[in-house]
Structure 1
Amino acid sequence: MPFWDSNLGCRRGGTPFSMAYTLGSGPDVGPALGPQHCVTKVELSVCGANLLDRDVASKSDPFCVLFHDVDGNWVELARTETAINNLNPVFGVKFQVDYHFEEVQKLKFAMFDEDKCSSQLYEHDFLGEFTCTLGVIVSNKKLHRPLILANGKPAGKGAITITAQELSDNRIITLTMCGRKLDKKDFFGKSDPYLEFHKQGDDGKWMMVHRTEVIKNTLDPVWKPFTVPLISLCNGDVDRNIKVLCYDYDNDGGHDFIGEFQTSVTKMSEAENGVEVEFECINPKKQKKKSYKNSGIIILKSCKITRDYSFLDYILGGCQLMFTVGIDFTASNGSPREPSSLHYINPMGSNEYLSAIWAVGQIIQDYDTDKMFPALGFGAQLPPDWKVSHEFAINFNPTNPFCSGVEGIVQAYSNCLPHIRFYGPTNFSPIINHVARFANQALQQDTAAQYFTLLIITDGVISDMDETRHAIVQAAKLPMSIIIIGVGNADFTAMEFLDGDSSALRSYTGEEAVRDIVQFVPFRDFRNAPKETLAKSVLAELPQQVTQYFKQRNLSPSNTMPE
């Protein structure tokens, strides 16, 4: 009997198990996870351990089914093969899902013991399940969790391990090349040489993937170093044939062929540590002449393969997104006891502040393993002496301002409302500088380990604009981003000025921000939109800001995969 069975076999009877699942279009053609704005594809590998034994004469024959949440219903995406007679399966079939940072993507992994010749899951014995978000999986890279039965109890000692890997080849190749004694093609001068790189397709045809610049009037050209994605140059296959053609440029477009050679990335990789690789540039038409040797030499002075790291590379490498919330408690919000107040918690238990906290927090919390988040307030008078503070812990514990998860932030926010007096002014710089002090400590990191995100929720115009601009310009040098959500109906023109999408932000000293780290959105634009739309908007730029910072600092992911 084969060890692996990729089909649902017809073998034994079993006890039907009813589950509220929706059958998708099958394991191979399931719907993509998330409709659009896909960052990348992620491959999920699954294995089980100590699964329940549902068979009498032998061990269970498990297979795993992946579901995703669509409007509150679990819809099947794909299935693994069946592992015959095995309580510790390592499944060969991988799950491929589209990854969207700015969405909560709920997944369910369910294990079944194959019992009948049927695609209906209730025909098979249920072995346990595990539910989480895709964000949790990629932030852990390798997740090991117990399986749970439908009644919420453990499935014996059964466990599942899920490993995530980004499905993209982010390697880039940088080549430095020159020529020596190329053929003279111009009547009144020498040659104007340039190179073209072509890769061979599976159909045997050649396709151009890169062209160098033209070097005027020389037979010994030195081209500028250039970088090409490895996937473009050779489809990521380092042994794939690459043809390099050398031409003499002519203004009339009738470029003269000088010669060519074939190579591969494997061969070119020999050019390292000062060792040069030389290629004879051959014109096949001239090879018939006995005296012909070559049409010059193309010299590869260096070949360097590196990785153009993506946001997911940094997350899979162990980077933690450190999340802090700053809440505006100024008097312009109105008394929280009055229904007209922006801080009034309605009978549904919500307001615009809480909606903003939930929208952003439920996404970012998956990328911080301890899920302990500082929550700060500003613009309020605090007991017992009723002094104004622009940087206070809303749990009233200045030495430990951390809240456990988004739920903890919401609880601390609700608890603090009756105990403070709303006052003013609306000063942002103290909270920005507070988070910047911690981000500044992360400058010592030699890998991409931490990145700080500050969410400020406010109802009005900034009072300390000069100080805030200066604080943001300084923070732009740090592993830090700022999200500002404006609640209420105030004029937020000044906030949009801080969001440097149209022009670079400057400090009052004239110093320009080295990068744009602020994203501002008014909550009112999303009042009638689906709740997830706000998160998509405010978090859209964060992955790019994270990768931009680490690349500027030349920092690699903490746990990089070998080349």
Structure 2
Amino acid sequence: MASFGLELSLRVRNVAPNEAATGIRAVIYRLQESDNNYVEIAQTETAFEQTNVTFQHRCPLTYRFDKLERLKISVYCVKDGSGIFSHRIGEVYTDVATIISKGTSISLPLSPTAAIDLYITIPGFYTHYVKLKFCGNHLQVHDQLPIAAYMIFVLKTDNHTILLYKSELMNFEGKRVHDKMSVDLESMELVQGESFFNAIKEGTSLHLTTAIDLSASNGNPNQPGSLHYIHPHTQSPYYNVMLRLTPLFLSYMANSRIGALGFGARVQPRFELSQCFALVSTFISISCTFLLCIK
């Protein structure tokens, strides 16, 4: 899953004058999932004698769609410019996905009178794309290979090779060439395109549908090792997966209801699903129709 570098900036409003006089500072914490504790990742500068403060310090964040990235922001009153916190004005909890889904900014109550505004800055280069044009010269076709060929563009990492692009088929019409083979880069152009962040900011909503394989080959519902194991005091594997994945989508969903489908095994001769049905109603939705088309 790709990671994106973002920046978080803060603005505090309506701080009490007596607290603003001695100075206020904000501390940003991130939830560490391994031990479920919040770890400090940044502090702002101290602002003096300002009841409405826009902090200049920006906190770098790493965003991944498959991570909730829970945040806690605490605002403190500083004691007489010494840098020591005298007391906490208030604190808020949120996550990066919620801020992005709200158009990259959100306002939250900090205390009975004060509020805090959170802003996410997304670098513009995430909408940049490189358009490459290649040309193959004297591509050799061996007897044991098909005459039609194509070019692929891959990205190699430490552990994986990722296919980025596959060209159309090129027909050599049976010709054999013996000149030196080459693949030349004819042009490279930086173009502007869409991004996930732009789509969400423009109002795109996601909908989550869970499809459960009810094939008998997945095991007996009475056996603890089975995917279909059912017990009143034990959560099933399906339930555990839904609990783990659903919170990642909720911020981007206009409707928090989750679609649930059941389907049977693929059967010959066309290896289509033997059945597909909605688990939450008797209505066969378009999601069922789509799932039936999966080979």
**After TM superposition, is the score higher than 0.5?**
yes
Q: Which residue type is aligned with residue 358 of structure 1? A: L
For 2:108, what is the secondary structure of its paired residue?
A: strand
Post-superposition offset of 1:126? 0.9
Separation in 2, partners of 1:396, 1:172: 44
Post-superposition offset of 1:432? 5.0
Query: Pick from 50, 55, 65: which aligns with 2:18?
Result: 55
Post-superposition offset of 1:329? 3.2
Pick the structure with more strand per residue.
2
1:66-465 → structure 2 map (5 Å cutoff): 66-70=28-32, 71=34, 72-117=36-81, 123-147=85-109, 155-169=111-125, 170-171=127-128, 226-229=187-190, 306-334=191-219, 336=221, 338-345=223-230, 349-379=234-264, 390-392=276-278, 394-396=279-281, 398=283, 431=287, 433-434=289-290
Whether the 8 Å CA contact 1:41–1:168 is kept in 2: the answer is: no
Separation in 2, partners of 1:314, 1:373: 21
Post-superposition offset of 1:339? 3.4
Whether the 8 Å CA contact 1:44–1:96 is kept in 2: the answer is: yes
Q: Which has the higher contact order (CA 8 A, sep 6+)?
A: 2
Q: Which residue type is aligned with residue 251 of structure 2? A: D
Separation in 2, partners of 1:168, 1:377: 42
Q: What residue number does 2:294 align with?
A: 468
Separation in 2, partners of 1:316, 1:159: 23
Post-superposition offset of 1:94? 1.6
Whether the 8 Å CA contact 1:65–1:110 is kept in 2: the answer is: yes
Superposition CA RMSD, Å: 3.6
Separation in 2, partners of 1:48, 1:128: 11
Whether the 8 Å CA contact 1:130–1:145 is kept in 2: the answer is: no
Separation in 1, partners of 2:21, 2:230: 55
Say how many residue pairs are matched. Answer: 231
| Cα deviations by residue, 1:275-306 (Å, 9 ceiling, x for unpaired) | xxxxxxxxxxxxxxxxxxxxxxxxxxxxxxx5
Separation in 1, partners of 2:109, 2:22: 15
Separation in 1, partners of 2:263, 2:245: 19
Whether the 8 Å CA contact 1:326–1:431 is kept in 2: the answer is: no
Separation in 2, partners of 1:349, 1:160: 42
Whether the 8 Å CA contact 2:6–2:62 is kept in 1: the answer is: yes
**Does the C-alpha gap of structure 1 residues 225 and 47 become closer, same or farther in structure 2, counting only changes over 3 Å?**
farther
Post-superposition offset of 1:40? 2.0
Separation in 2, partners of 1:102, 1:431: 23
Separation in 1, partners of 2:112, 2:22: 14
Whether the 8 Å CA contact 1:64–1:109 is kept in 2: the answer is: yes
Pick the structure with more helix per residue.
1
| Cα deviations by residue, 1:176-208 (Å, 9 ceiling, x for unpaired) | xxxxxxxxxxxxxxxxxxxxxxxxxxxxxxxxx
Separation in 1, partners of 2:203, 2:243: 24
Q: Which runs of 5+ in 1 are unaligned?
A: 1-36, 149-154, 175-223, 230-305, 380-387, 402-429, 436-463, 470-563
**Does the C-alpha gap of structure 1 residues 332 and 108 become closer, same or farther in structure 2, counting only changes over 3 Å?**
same
Post-superposition offset of 1:119? 5.1
Larger radius of gyration: 1
Q: What residue number does 2:139 align with?
A: none
Post-superposition offset of 1:65? 1.3
Separation in 2, partners of 1:345, 1:157: 50
Separation in 2, partners of 1:311, 1:346: 40
Percent identity between the two aligned chains? 23
For 2:246, what is the secondary structure of its paired residue?
A: helix
